[in-house]
Structures are given as C-alpha cells and as structure tokens.
Structure 1
C-alpha cells in the first residue's frame, strides 16, 4: 500500500462456512490495510459491539461507564484557520507560505502530545455533574 499511488486502502472480506452445523462453523471478518495500519475484526467482535450499542446506546456500555469525546481536532478546520491567518497577515511572508495537507497532519499529530487539558477537563466534568444534579432535581419534582 505504501508504494501504490492509486490506492489508499485495501479491504479484505472473508466468510467462514462449514458443511455441518457447528457453533464455530460460520462467521467471517474484515481486514482493512492502509499504508500505516492493518486493522481487523471478526463478525463475532462486530456482533458484540452492535449488541452493546443496542443494549446501552451509542456508547456501547452501561450508564456510568461511558466516555464522551469533547474535542476533535479537524484537519479541514485547521486548513481553514491557515487560510484565515494568511489573510490576516497578508502583508508578511506568512501569507506566501504554501501549507499542504501532510504538513497540517504532522502539525496536528505533533500538537496532541504537548497539550495538557486537565483543567479544562475538570471544568467540563464539574459542568456535567451540575447538569446531572439539575436533571435529577427536575425529575424528582
């Protein structure tokens, strides 16, 4: 995949069948191959994830055990911000620098480990706790 300019990924779907009724005689899986990763899942794993989502909602876990994504660094938004910055600094050399998608990806990946968002996370947790108290209070009235 690293050497192929025409493909960015390859998907391999597989099915397992058996001529006799056996509990492990059926199923399948999928593998996705990219230049940087090989990811795989069986139908049993996918079934488990889907059943968890059916039982517990989008998070796929019981209440009280969920993790909720709050921030997502979007490369398209960074690209837009680059354009805004270059427009604001039109009279400087910043405006003439050509920034490509790979450089934006490198910047995003390099930035993430340097961040310490602990204070912001505690503030969000406090806000969510207060909201839960308000919801519970309204439900008990």
Structure 2
C-alpha cells in the first residue's frame, strides 16, 4: 500500500494582527504553526488537514472574539457552532466544504502589509508510483486565487508542442480550461440567484478540477468529431481545387 503526502509551506509569515483569533486557530490546526516574531509561519510536512478536532469551548471563545469581522472562517464555523449540542465538549470540523486558501485571501484583503500569499506544495509518495510525485504553486491575492501544478505545466508543454508541430497529423479541437470554468461559475451564480446558496468563491480549484475530469470522462464528442472531420475534408478539397486551378 502506498501513502501519499503533500508537504506544504506558506512562504510568507502572516502577521498576528492581520488574523482574527478564529482564523489563527483554524490555520494552526490545518497547518503546523511556528512563531516568527510578531507573525506566524504556517507549514505541514504531511499535507493540510481536511478535518480537525478541538475543544468546543476553545472554538466558541475564538469565534466570539472574532465577532463583527466578516470572514470565511466566521461564516463557516457559525453553522457548525449553531448545531453543536450544549453537552458536547469536543467538536470536529470538516473543511471539505471550504478551503484554507479562502481564509488566507480574507487576511490579504484586510492586511495593510500583505499584497499576496504564496503556497508551495510537493506531491510525494512512500513508493515510486508514477502518479505519486509532482507539485503545485498557488498565488492568493485579494481578488483571485490561481494555481498551477506540475501536471498543468506538462500539459502546457504538450499543447505548445502540438501547436508547433502540426505535421504529426493530429489537431486539438476542444480543450476545457479551468479558468474559463471559473468565469462560467461566477456568471451562472450572478445570473440565477436560485441556482445555489453558495457564493462563487465557495467553489474551490479542487472542485473545478474534479468536475472537469468528470465531464471529460463522461462526454462523447464522436458526432462532433465526425462533423468537424467532414468539414475539414470539404475544406481540403477546396484548397486542392484552388492550388491546382489553371493560372491565367
């Protein structure tokens, strides 16, 4: 059995004054937190935690201390605190419904010193599996969260190669771009308020990536491919007619 890991570092130390108590608590449980003067350096040798358990009193204290500051952490935790039993002493928070990137984005938006936060992740495996190694870099600004993995870079290289080497007889007809899907999400939610209760930024990059893979897997474009090949055949005949037409 192979174990997969995703060591991650947040390259900028985050000023303590830029974080709400709840944000600092959440990030310190998702990552390892190391004091760095008046800031905190976040990192993890295994990978960011998707589920965290903690004392409900500690959570409520941080939640109350962060009241009045609009943030992803406050909104997400509010729903979980509201349904917790008064007899509970411990609570487990599942972060699969949101992402730590949004917490950092809220921090950047409020910060007077941070223009962006960058996260770098390595993909490693306990066995030399071909799918077990790689990496990803993420840039988080006040307005956007963008990332690129080593697989994305290889796909870019292949696309560039395909564009430069048309003599291989294969031409790319359709490609789904995740950044374009992100724009479609924004437009769809804005155009139809009844579509979902989620805000557009609640859909993270991992959601989009998984959805694109699922759509590609279940899509059958054989009819469209045949139609395109037929149009290309007609166009090729016209090209040959023009090339061989008598001059003068």
Q: 2:191 aligned with 1:88, yes or no?
A: yes
Report if aligned partners of 2:6, 2:122 keep a CA contact under 8 Å in 1.
no
190, 204, 208: which one aligns with 1:100: 204
Report if aligned partners of 2:8, 2:122 keep a CA contact under 8 Å in 1.
no
Which ranges in structure 2 are unaligned for 5 or more consecutive residues?
Answer: 10-118, 124-132, 137-148, 152-160
RMSD: 3.0
Deviations 1:54-100 (A, max 9, x none): xxx92264xxx51100101000110000011101112x251534211
**Cα–Cα, structure 1 residues 88 and 59, in superposed 2: closer, same or farther, change >3 Å?**
same
4, 7, 17: which one aligns with 1:3: 7
Deviations 1:14-71 (A, max 9, x none): xxxxxxxxxxxxxxxxxxx5149999xxxxxxxxxxxxx8xxx92264xxx5110010
**Higher strand residue share:** 2
> Take 2:197 and 2:218, find their aligned partners in 1: how far apart are those partners?
26
**Cα–Cα, structure 1 residues 60 and 128, in superposed 2: closer, same or farther, change >3 Å?**
closer
> Take 1:38 and 1:77, find their aligned partners in 2: how far apart are those partners?
20
Q: 2:161 aligned with 1:58, yes or no?
A: no
Report SS of the residue matched to 1:94.
coil
Aligned partner of 2:179 in structure 1 is 76
Normalised to the residue count of structure 1, the TM-score between the two structures is 0.59
**Cα–Cα, structure 1 residues 68 and 93, in superposed 2: closer, same or farther, change >3 Å?**
closer
1:111 shift after superposition: 1.1
Normalised to the residue count of structure 2, the TM-score between the two structures is 0.35
Aligned partner of 2:84 in structure 1 is none
Aligned partner of 1:34 in structure 2 is 134
> Take 1:82 and 1:67, find their aligned partners in 2: how far apart are those partners?
31
Which ranges in structure 1 are unaligned for 5 or more consecutive residues?
Answer: 11-32, 40-52
Runs of 4+ in 1 over 3 A off after TM superposition: 35-39
1:4 shift after superposition: 2.7
Aligned residue pairs: how many?
Answer: 99
Q: 2:237 aligned with 1:129, yes or no?
A: no
